[in-house]
Amino acid sequence: MPLVPLPLPDPGRPDLSSPLGFLRWLGRAQRRGQLLATLWSTLELGSMAALPVAIGRGVQAVVDHDTRALLTAGLLALLLAVVQTTMTVLLHRQVVWNWIQAASQVRQLVARQASALGGGLSRRIATGEIVAVSSGDVEKIGWYVELTARLYGAVLAWLGVSTVVLWRQPGLGLAVLLGVPVLAAAVWPLLGPFERRYAEQRALGGKASELAADTVAGLRVLRGIGGEELFLRRYRSASQRVRAAAVRTARTWAVMQAQEVLLPGLFVIGVTWYGARLALDGSIGVGELIAVYGSTAFLAAPLRVIGEAAHAWSVARVSAGRAVKVLTLTRDDAPADGSAADGSEADGPAREGAAGAADDGAELVRRAPRSDLHDPVSGLTARAGRLTAVVCGDPDAAGELAARLGGRPVLAEGVAAGPSARLGGVELDGVPLAVARAAVLVHDKEPVLLSGTLAELLDVPRSGRVEPAEALAAARAQDALEALVDGSPECAGDPMAARITERGRSLSGGQRQRLALARSLVADPPVLVLDEPTSAVDAHTESRIAAGLRELRAGRTTVVLATSPLLLDQADTVLLLQQGRVVASGTHRELMTDEPRYRAVVTRDENEAGAGAGSAARPAARPAADPVGSGLAGSGLAGGAE
């Protein structure tokens, strides 16, 4: 069977009604692979069970001095050995592929969900939980999917052996037919305690992973304040709780494994004793006794598979429950891609609505460069082809506004979605996610640099209008390029071949910020939303970035959320937001002169804020200094120099 290349083009729409439904869906998603694995498993176990029959016939031929029968038995044994070996190779190849495909499919589903939720994911579920689902849980789910086919093969082989023995020796056959289910059922009383203990271990492990991720991400800060020992003690305590839970789980699992060895062994001893009594009575021959003993002893293999499947079922159900928890997270009650809440495709009017949304999306991208961006919640309107700055004193409110402008608002658990931002009159959350992102790109406040070369970092979907060198120059990233070259001797002086370490940890905060800004500028989207893009650079560099940004984005719609006068002075229009609504608009210099509320936010002057609130009807006094210069102190407070 030709193997399917990974990753899959489409991981599919899973059944998220329950953990069991999710596992069943995974099995159906690779039906052909499961059928082949079941066939190979049945033939492997069947040839293994038939081998003692050939050996028994050979022994009986020796007793009867029948050379022809001995030769026939030998050839049969050889044929069965070849079949068993071949089936073992095919089975191992297929079940491992089933495992890998199931694990990859779940990982793709989780990655797709994380991409769809964007910044809202971390507000809904801990980062450590996502990491645990994408690593340990997918392996457990893949293990269960792999074992399913072997379980079916074991059951079919047991039924076949029972039928043959029942036909030859009804007493022994009845013992085999009834004994195996009884032995298999003996493990079920332990499954409940094992599953509860494993669920506890899994929950504690997720919390420890979350704590470890937070500690690693904030290691520089922790060292700066001397807090690494505190977090080390916290992680040590969390890991010890995980260890204790794992020991409790292992005890139950050890008892289950002991049962898998002890009970089949006692069963084989009992059947062999009964067969030996029949041989002494002359009811069966020596060769037939060997065949019965071998076939009965073979049943230990299906019993081990059944026991392993019971274990896999317990851990997979817990892991599937956690995967379903992640995959059922939604931004609102009506997914924008036209799919139902459980991931299945919508029917009827919903499907027609999705098709209409796709048509709107194509038209949206075509008209995006000439369309205004409007947010009904705040009343903000960014005019097409202009640089609009937004001043908002609340960083959280600014982040929520940026997410809304991108068409994917960040909602808290249980909070209903408000009106969507509109581009040219088209609601952004009513079109597919890929279409919305092609039209509006939101540059996050804390962008992440993935490891790889600089060329790979800048290899993003783009219009082709802006070259990487132009974007890097506009972002004033020359010192970041020099740092990359110094840290990558293998690049031979070529910054594009220089390697970026994980999350750009070898660079300063300002250097990381400017490389991320260059990545957004290279993409050259019709609408670009920047949330505090220069908060980690000094005032001189920020001034140069502001000029470069205005020049490079000329004629393109750009929205900058910032409080830095150096950025605000470059904007065509500045909007002031208070309590989530636009309360003033104009140029930076006009607002600094006439709007005390604006001046209070930009200069961080609490006295000015109080005066503005109490004298809103009176015209504000003109500041003595130049309005741009009057806010330079605020720029330092806003971002902090590198």
Mean per-residue pLDDT over the chain, rounded: 79
Mark 470-486 as b/e (b = at least 16 C-beta within 10 Å): bbbbbbbbeebbebbbe
Residues 316 and 432 reside in one and the same domain:
no
- Indicate the range of 142-146, 151-155, 334-338 predicted with least confidence: 334-338
Last residue within a domain, chosen from 327, 353, 386: 327
Residues 234 and 293 reside in one and the same domain:
yes
Whether the full predicted model's pTM is greater than 0.85, yes or no, is no
**Backbone angles phi and psi of 121, in degrees to 5:** -65, -45
- Indicate the range of 213-227, 333-347, 486-500 predicted with least confidence: 333-347
Residues 298 and 406 reside in one and the same domain:
no
Question: Per 3-state DSSP, what percentage of the chain is helix, strand, and coil (rounded to 5)?
Answer: 65, 5, 25
Residues 402 and 501 reside in one and the same domain:
yes
Residue in 490, 493, 400 with CA at minimum distance from that of residue 445 = 400
How far apart CA 241 and CA 197 sit, in angstroms, is 12
**Average pLDDT for 151-176:** 77
Question: For residue 156, is it within any domain?
Answer: yes
Residues 265 and 313 reside in one and the same domain:
yes
Residues 402 and 269 reside in one and the same domain:
no
Q: In the structure encoding, which two tokens stand for residue 62, read together?
A: 């020796």
Q: In the structure encoding, which two tokens stand for residue 447, read together?
A: 């962008």
Residue 49: per-residue pLDDT: 81
How far apart CA 312 and CA 217 sit, in angstroms, is 34
Residue 614: per-residue pLDDT: 40
Number of structural domains in the chain: 2
Last residue within a domain, chosen from 327, 355, 383: 327
Residues 319 and 422 reside in one and the same domain:
no
What lies within 8 Å, CB to CB, of 339 at 6+ separation is 13, 345, 346, 354
Residue 281 confidence (pLDDT) above 90: no
Question: For residue 351, is it within any domain?
Answer: no
For the stretch 521-538, pLDDT in tens is 999 999 999 999 998 889
Q: Is 382 helix (H, G, I), strand (E, B) or coil?
A: strand
Burial of 104 (0-12, 13-18, 19+ CB in 10 A): middle
Residues 79 and 158 reside in one and the same domain:
yes
Residue 120 confidence (pLDDT) above 90: no
Question: For residue 357, is it within any domain?
Answer: no
Residues 211 and 116 reside in one and the same domain:
yes
Residues 138 and 211 reside in one and the same domain:
yes
Question: For residue 358, is it within any domain?
Answer: no
Last residue within a domain, chosen from 327, 351, 378: 327
Residue 338 confidence (pLDDT) above 60: no
Which domain CATH number covers 473?
A: 3.40.50.300
Question: For residue 344, is it within any domain?
Answer: no
Tokens 């000015």 correspond to 608
Q: Percentage of the chain with pLDDT > 90? A: 27
Higher pLDDT, 335 or 372: 372
Residues 323 and 381 reside in one and the same domain:
no
For the stretch 414-466, pLDDT in tens is 444 567 799 988 888 888 878 888 899 998 887 788 888 999 989 988 888 99
Question: What DSSP string runs through 298-339?
Answer: HTHHHHHHHHHHHHHHHHHHHHHHHHHHHHT--SSSS-TTSB
How far apart CA 331 and CA 333 sit, in angstroms, is 7
For residue 509, give its domain range.
363-639
How far apart CA 601 and CA 592 sit, in angstroms, is 10
Residue 355: per-residue pLDDT: 46
Question: For residue 173, is it within any domain?
Answer: yes
CB 110 within 8 A of CB 130: yes
Question: For residue 185, is it within any domain?
Answer: yes
Task: Give residue 352's pLDDT band: very low, low, confident or very high (50, 70, 90).
Answer: very low
Which domain CATH number covers 225?
A: 1.20.1560.10
Question: For residue 342, is it within any domain?
Answer: no
Residue 122 confidence (pLDDT) above 50: yes
Residue 22 confidence (pLDDT) above 90: yes
Residues 88 and 191 reside in one and the same domain:
yes
